[in-house]
Amino acid sequence: MTNTSLAVPAEAVPFDRGRHPSLRAAMIDAIREDLLSGLLPPGQRISVKELHRRFRTGFSAIREALCQLVADGMVIAEDQRGFRAAPVSARDLADLTRVRIEIETIAIRDAIANGDTDWEAQIVAEFHRLSQLRSRVTTDTRRINPAYTQQHRRFHDALIAACPSDWIKRFHTTLDHNAERYRELIVSYYSANHVRDILEEHRAMMDAVLARDADRAMKLVAQHINDTAEILLRIGIAQG
């Protein structure tokens, strides 16, 4: 990567933590979004000083946030060299895909076994919201619409919301955040070589879950996750 620093707005404003319970939590989300959006591309050095200038917040909150993102696998801490956005590779993608399939299919199975009608209604509502959004930015089809990304998360979270295991749901969230970095890489190719109907894939998953057909739902979820990984590997975006 030739760009080794994060652009700083000419007039930065003090960071607003919004509804987050702490400044640390707000910083984790802010830096994570930079990683997911590609503002901090895979492999790029992360300057704590420039994040401090950009967000106008303390160094300790930034370092704590980066350390949490290291634990989540999205950032690498290098001895005496600071932090770097985690690189992408075919090996990492294959490992991530395998574990995502294991975790999400378990979560789907358990959710189907425990979900009630309120859970079903939430899935339908989140799918409807997803169906109303464009997946790409209108002015630049090489970029994923941030609103779509957020709603995509909500839909998949709704599918497993009735899973009784908090550990499984936490793992699911961490894995999905890492997968988003790979999904961003596929957009420029995928928009010009459209061979999948992603909305229909989501509809099929929803229908199987609402029918309480665990075997079919697990199969569809696994295929949905695996197809994206196969495209990335085939076109050579993730190498190494």
Q: Extract the tokens encoding 16.
A: 């607003």
Note whether residue 13 is domain-resident.
Answer: no
Last residue of a domain, one of 85, 110, 130: 85
CA 187 – CA 193 distance, rounded (Å): 10
Shared-domain flag, residues 161 and 174: yes
Task: State the burial class of residue 222 (Cβ atoms within 10 Å of its Cβ: 0-12, 13-18, 19+).
Answer: middle
What backbone phi and psi angles, to 5 degrees, belong to 5?
Answer: -145, 160
> Is the distance from CB of 83 to CB of 77 less than 8 angstroms?
yes
Note whether residue 226 is domain-resident.
Answer: yes
Shared-domain flag, residues 132 and 200: yes
User: From the CB of residue 10, how many other CB atoms can be counted at a distance below 10 Å?
Assistant: 5
Shared-domain flag, residues 47 and 155: no
Shared-domain flag, residues 134 and 183: yes
CA 102 – CA 110 distance, rounded (Å): 13
Q: How long a stretch of residues is the chain?
A: 240
Shared-domain flag, residues 104 and 46: no
Q: Extract the tokens encoding 100.
A: 């995502």
181: containing domain: 90-235
Least Cα distance to 156 among 105, 230, 95 occurs for: 105
Instruction: Check residues 158 and 56 and name the one with the higher pLDDT.
Output: 158
- Chain segment 35-68, per-residue pLDDT in tens: 887 788 888 999 999 998 888 888 888 999 999 9
Shared-domain flag, residues 110 and 228: yes
**Whole-prediction pTM value?**
0.76
> Is the distance from CB of 46 to CB of 84 less than 8 angstroms?
yes
Task: Say which CATH number the domain at 163 has.
Answer: 1.20.120.530
Last residue of a domain, one of 85, 110, 136: 85
Confidence of residue 188 (pLDDT cuts 50, 70, 90): low
- Chain segment 125-151, per-residue pLDDT in tens: 999 999 999 877 666 656 678 888 889
- Chain segment 86-122, per-residue pLDDT in tens: 988 889 999 999 999 999 999 999 999 999 999 999 9
Note whether residue 5 is domain-resident.
Answer: no
Shared-domain flag, residues 137 and 211: yes
Task: Say which CATH number the domain at 66 has.
Answer: 1.10.10.10
Shared-domain flag, residues 141 and 77: no
Shared-domain flag, residues 146 and 206: yes
Shared-domain flag, residues 69 and 156: no
Domains in the chain: how many in total? 2
The 3-class SS string of the chain reads CCCCCCCCCCCCCCCCCCCCCCHHHHHHHHHHHHHHHCCCCCCCEECHHHHHHHHCCCHHHHHHHHHHHHHCCCEEEECCCEEEECCCCHHHHHHHHHHHHHHHHHHHHHHHHHCCHHHHHHHHHHHHHHHCCCCEECCEEEEECHHHHHHHHHHHHHHHCCCCCHHHHHHHHHHHHHHHHHHHHHHHHHHHCCCCCHHHHHHHHHHHHHCCCHHHHHHHHHHHHHHHHHHHHHHCCCCC
Note whether residue 140 is domain-resident.
Answer: yes
Shared-domain flag, residues 114 and 230: yes
Average pLDDT over residues 2-8: 43
Note whether residue 71 is domain-resident.
Answer: yes
Shared-domain flag, residues 54 and 111: no
Q: What is the pLDDT of residue 10?
A: 39
Instruction: Check residues 11 and 170 and name the one with the higher pLDDT.
Output: 170
